[in-house]
Structure 1
């Protein structure tokens, strides 16, 4: 009886690990799409609304889903919290804090860090160009993430179950 319960727990744990990895692969394209939407909204606020950058970030954060909203809210909080940090420092610190809670990877983070280096230091048209460039880079990464998702989601689900089954067979 104890062996049966142990085997069931091992199968359950292996299956859940596989499904969790598959969920991360499936969440990545969705989160990149949400981030693209947030940047496009920010571009609209800056370019057509003539909104100052901190206010544009706050407005954009209010209208986008997580995790993009939490990144923008963290930037806005750091900007309004202390006048000691520059925009670039606030942007990078917010990215570093929020990034572990996302399914996104290093290429997306690099694109956003590069964007943070250029926002807030130039005129409106230049900021819009940098936002468009970041959106294009993220769209490329989204395509790659969709390809990875289609390729690896089924594999991770199956691998979790099969690895757990192998462990149960070896133990019994």
Structure 2
């Protein structure tokens, strides 16, 4: 099984976030952000849990190389308090199972430290790789839905859900 290490987001991770802002990484999430938006996102990640920030982590290889990000944040979905999960992996490291391993580790983190019964992910129906990550990480496909991301833009997404054992 692919090994990854999650580490809390730190002040040193702005360069990684800028790399993850590449067009090929952001193609299914509204495209690249401006540098001002990336810096603001980094500052929200540093503040930690709260409005629009959540619990953010870097994805690292055993040798310490940072290859992506994962996180979860609170939201309400169809009347239930849940976590939403998201992730990104640098193009040079995609296709190696790293995102699936990171999301499995993130599910374990949310189950151990969170207070929600379920976590959801909403990848675009047109993004086979992210949908495969959900399947490989143990999420159940609930069906297609309209999802707003980025704010002001509706996209056709799959609604994937995973149980966070023993919560709620």
Q: Tell me whether the two structures share a fold, i.e. TM-score over 0.5.
A: no
Q: Which has the higher contact order (CA 8 A, sep 6+)?
A: 1
Computing the radius of gyration over CA atoms, which structure comes out larger, 1 or 2?
1
Question: Which structure shows the higher helix fraction?
Answer: 1
